[in-house]
Amino acid sequence: MDDNEFDRQLLAEAFAAIATEGWRRFSIVGAARAAGLPLERARLRFPRKSFVLIRFGRLADAAALAGAPEEGTVRDRLFEMLMRRFDVLQAHRAGVSALLRHLPFDPPLAGMLGCANFASMRWLLEAAGVSARGPLGRLRTKGLVGVWLWAVRAWMRDESSDLSATMAALDNALARAERATSWLPDGRAHSTPASYPAEPVPEGAPGDALAPSSSPEASSSESPSPGGAPPRGDEPGPGPIGPAP
């Protein structure tokens, strides 16, 4: 069994345990035993509980980036990659939902996931052909984090089998971010007709801009992630989920 398969099996049991026991009570040892996995390898792969979220995030990022689309608008490409992330969350829906409900009571864990989401969204922007470097890149990344969290809130309430409400919320949030591109230097909108029925965007929905840019300011320097942790550019970030909106 390779590392990825090992991680998937342990993560499945971990999120099943989180769904029934909660984040504070579940243990790596219990998840490994429930999955029939050797404890010594579980110790190496998951030295702390937080590594459940790190490994889960990397698998979700890999799913989103696998065969990342190169055709279509930026909005289309981001939509497809973000929905792939929701597919990963949906496979462990009960456990992920329990974790999200726990986050308001665990600020350090919420902060870790906030930084992780920032790193993950940088990867998705770059994969969609949008510069995530420099001050403008940081603004774009914050905008996409807002889009993601807005869609996560819809996903939490979405009981449909096809995640239609989640897709509509994501599409609307991306459209709002897209419309804001005209406020950025070199901002260029890439509008396409919405794929889902248009809904009014509620007040408070994300509105930071996402736009391709070739300006020197957008590619010259790195900015620190929220919480002071510098964003990593060598591997996908560990966060497919974030603090409950």
Domain ranges of the chain: 1-47, 50-228
Mean pLDDT within 203-209 = 42
- pLDDT of residue 216 exceeding 50, the answer is no
Radius of gyration of the chain (CA): 18
- Alpha-carbon gap, residue 7 to 105, rounded angstroms: 27
What is the share, in percent, of the chain residues with pLDDT greater than 90?
63
Q: Is the dihedral of CA 56, 60, 61, 63 positive or negative?
A: positive
Least confident of 64-73, 86-95, 201-210, 217-226: 217-226
- pLDDT of residue 66 exceeding 60, the answer is yes
Scanning 103-133, the segments in alpha helix (DSSP H) are 107-127
pTM: 0.75
**C-alpha pair distances (Å), 194 with each of 15, 75, 79, 82, 84:** 34, 10, 11, 16, 18
**C-alpha pair distances (Å), 23 with each of 43, 49, 123:** 18, 9, 27
pLDDT at 161: 87
Least confident of 97-111, 142-156, 216-230: 216-230
- pLDDT of residue 178 exceeding 70, the answer is yes
Mean pLDDT within 51-69 = 91
- Alpha-carbon gap, residue 74 to 212, rounded angstroms: 8
Helical pair 134-157 and 107-127, crossing angle rounded to 10 deg? 110
Identify the CA nearest to 80 among candidates 115, 39, 128. Answer: 128
Q: Identify the band that residue 71 occupies on the pLDDT scale cut at 50, 70 and 90.
A: confident
pLDDT at 48: 93
Q: Identify the band that residue 177 occupies on the pLDDT scale cut at 50, 70 and 90.
A: confident
pLDDT at 190: 40
- pLDDT of residue 199 exceeding 50, the answer is no
Scanning 22-106, the segments in alpha helix (DSSP H) are 28-35, 39-45, 50-65, 74-91, 93-102
Q: Identify the band that residue 68 occupies on the pLDDT scale cut at 50, 70 and 90.
A: confident
Mean pLDDT within 24-51 = 95
pLDDT at 202: 41
Q: Which two tokens stand for residue 99?
A: 């974790």
- pLDDT of residue 245 exceeding 70, the answer is no
Q: Which two tokens stand for residue 194?
A: 């919405």
Q: Domain 1-47, what architecture?
A: Orthogonal Bundle (1.10)
Residues in CB range of 161: below 8 A, 6 or more apart? none
pLDDT at 36: 96
Identify the CA nearest to 151 among candidates 212, 217, 86, 67. Answer: 86
Q: Identify the band that residue 237 occupies on the pLDDT scale cut at 50, 70 and 90.
A: very low
